[in-house]
Amino acid sequence: MSVRTRPLPPYASTDVIAILVLTAIVMSGFLPTFAGYSWLAITAAGVAIGMGWALLLITVRLGLDIVLETMAIPYLLTAGGIALGADGLLLGIPDADVINRILVGTFTSWKTLVETAPFVDSTGAVMLIPYAMAYFGCCTATAMALRSRRAALPAIPLVLMLIVVLLLGFVQPFSVLLQGVGFGAVTLLWVGHRGMRIEAGRKSDPALGVVPVGKVVSAVIVVGLVAAATLPFIGSLTPQRRPVLRETVQPYDAAYLKTPLSDFRRFRDQGPGVYDNLADRKLFRVRGAKPGTRVRVAVLDRYDGKRWYAANDTSTKDHTDRFLRVPTRLDNPAVGEEKLFTFFVRNKWDLPWVPTIGAMQGFEFYDNYANDRLPDLRYNRATDTALLPGGLTLREDYVIAAIPVAERLTPRMKPWRTPDRNLQHAAAFLDVPAQAWSLGAKTDMGAVFKVAQRLRERGRYSDGVFGWETRFEAGQDTIRLDAGFVNAPAMVGNDEQYAATMALLANRLGVPARVAVGTVLGRNGVIKGKHLDAWVEIKIGNGSWRVLPTSTFMSHRPPKRDDVRLPPVRLPPAQQNPQRPQQQEQPEEEPDPPPPDAEEPQDEPLPLWPLFLLIPASVAGIPLAKGLRRRRRRAAVPVSLGYAGGWQELLDTARDLGLTIPAGSTRPEQARALGVPTQVARAADIATFSRDEPASASTFWDAIDTSRRRLTTSVPSWRVALAPLNPASLFRRR
């Protein structure tokens, strides 16, 4: 039995090229998302298989409905081996387990993608996303382009692909120029070309319609002018926050986790019999870090009146402040040299907070057997805090690539210009101490250091564990920090109360601050529970966070029973509404970090100047189109068409020169009106209407060239000079 096939339409190659170009523009939006280049090969495979399936079914005379109904079959047969890298049965046919992974991954990997910090590893179920988009989008668009009579219908799947890529991307798109102007220009040209083909073609098969070159060139000119006209506005566009799935999907919520600050007394001696005390236990040993390196266990950036905790979406300007899955390589820019640090777990660490150093760039377990826990790891790039539910056990050592960040903070530095309104409002109960202790400060940062000094001088330190000191309870709620600490007769607490209070006082003064728990490494790199302490981090003018050391605001003097009772904090009568002088002395502003170009080469944005060439290129395309038209007419088959085309070439020359041609007249009448020998017109009539086919049209075309030169003698020289650029003959009605 033979299979009846049908040749593809003449313009099938045009549609295929347009689909390939638009798909490349759409999928380029994933460049800032995925790591490496293997995802590009997977995408290319999806494009090839999708187009191949559509072309195969169209060639064997099957309709659009059959293509759409069966395109899931090749996807299920190929996605496992190409996207997942799974082994199949004989000849790569997937088994039931692989097909199940494909189905589950296709519908669940989208959430995994938007919950992972860039750059996402080009392995695993997330690779089904570019493969599925390329396969289904190109298969549908190709089938519609070859079998549909609607000009714009094949562009719909590609537009939907672009929308999906934008939703899966970031607030600021990869390239407004490429994904906006480029995609729109190519789509307009393609849809316009299809529309002209359908208009010019036969009703039975519109794809066979022949499009005049003039119309194509004019469409290119119009689109080029429109694209060039938009260039001056691209650089001035203000980025707007558009909806993306990364901001609508609920990230990992760390707000309800027990924090090291709330559980701080576990790191201090609590006497014998406390099984979960970590004071004298060796928790970690760090290799690769110098003595004095600061290790962060947790950074807490929100206060709810009961405790400090780690939150998502604390900033309205970027998307780095979320606990996201960690890929092999993190897009976490920082200034400095990247180094490797190895953390050896020396005891069970049951807290979910993973110690890190600086701005982490990559994470991996030291032994491969623990790699199955990597999907559970979360990291907040705004606070440089890592989370792993369940904590760490022995032998779950890990290695991080990180860039140590600057920590130095001085009173002369300028704080961040915008206060954190949420924290400033949460610290309202400490308004009187904040004002009273900052009197006389000349700058906002000076006020922070002045408050820290008063806090250290006024306070005493105790973990509230032994003897009569048990009255000093743990906690960081408003009652404990106000009546039980700042305004208590004896202001006694440990790192928990001091750091929580100091951060709130700084925020009340309008200086953004947060609480951190960690340690500074000693000579041997060993971390015990008693080495951990809490400090405050201040945001300075260049956007970085600097450390306000614990010794700056925390007293180490123990309390005594006979200590003098502290009076409540009061404002002087003359300072009920204190106004600190505004910047009386010039602050020492910390220099901004050097631009990224000084550290490592960055990808340059696409230059705009090539698009300005669209205008001269569009003008230069007019004589080029005329030359191609003349060549096609002269080489026309049969030869009689060459005669007809030669006469039409003469008339087009007259139109470009501005000469008038009588409407509805015969060729001899047109010749007399133009001052051309009538023998040329009669030769064209004989070749066109005679039963016998002429042997050659070269002699006739020589006569046409002579007649065209004669026409130039009857018009001004400026018309002759502008005639090659005159598009009048390209717009003539067929």
List the chain residues with pLDDT less than 50.
1, 202-209, 229-239, 578, 580-587, 589, 595-603, 609, 733-734
The contacts of residue 378 (CB under 8 Å, 6+ apart) are 251, 252, 254, 323, 324, 325, 326, 386, 387, 388
The pLDDT of residue 388 = 95
The secondary element (H helix, E strand) that includes residue 302 is strand 302-303
Return d(Cα 322, Cα 170) in angstroms, integer: 13
Residues in the chain: 734
Is the C-alpha dihedral spanning 47, 53, 58, 62 positive or negative?
negative
Judge whether 501 and 445 are in contact, CB under 8 Å. no
Give 195: exposed, middle or buried? Use CB within 10 Å, 0-12, 13-18, 19+: middle
* Token pair in block for residue 257: 């986790």
Amino acid at the residue 194: R
Q: Among 502, 488, 313, 296, which Cα is nearest to 402's?
A: 296
222 φ, ψ (degrees, to nearest 5): -65, -50
For 394, other C-beta atoms within 10 Å of its C-beta total: 11
How confident is the model over 625-651, as pLDDT tens digits?
Answer: 888 888 888 888 888 888 888 989 999
Task: Supply the pTM of this predicted model.
Answer: 0.72
For the chain, the average pLDDT equals: 85
The contacts of residue 96 (CB under 8 Å, 6+ apart) are none
The pLDDT of residue 419 = 94
* Token pair in block for residue 641: 């068409």
Query: Residue 401, SS3?
Result: strand
Return d(Cα 552, Cα 449) in angstroms, integer: 8
Is the C-alpha dihedral spanning 555, 556, 557, 561 positive or negative?
positive
Residue 350 CA: distances (Å) to CA of 256, 277, 278, 281, 592: 15, 12, 11, 13, 39
Q: What is the CA radius of gyration of the chain?
A: 38
The contacts of residue 647 (CB under 8 Å, 6+ apart) are 667, 680, 681, 684, 704
Return d(Cα 154, Cα 479) in angstroms, integer: 66
User: What is residue 608's DSSP assignment?
Assistant: S
298 φ, ψ (degrees, to nearest 5): -155, 145
How confident is the model over 495-509, as pLDDT tens digits?
Answer: 999 999 999 999 999
Return d(Cα 231, Cα 354) in angstroms, integer: 48
Q: Among 228, 231, 235, which Cα is nearest to 617's?
A: 228
- Residue by residue, what is the 3-state secondary structure of 541-553? CCCCEEEECHHHH
Strand partners of residue 383: none
Strand partners of residue 548: 536
Residue 634 CA: distances (Å) to CA of 310, 662, 669, 705, 723: 77, 25, 23, 12, 20
The DSSP string of 68-120 is: HHHTHHHHHHHHIIIII----SGGG---HHHHHHHHHHHHHHHHHHHTBPSSB
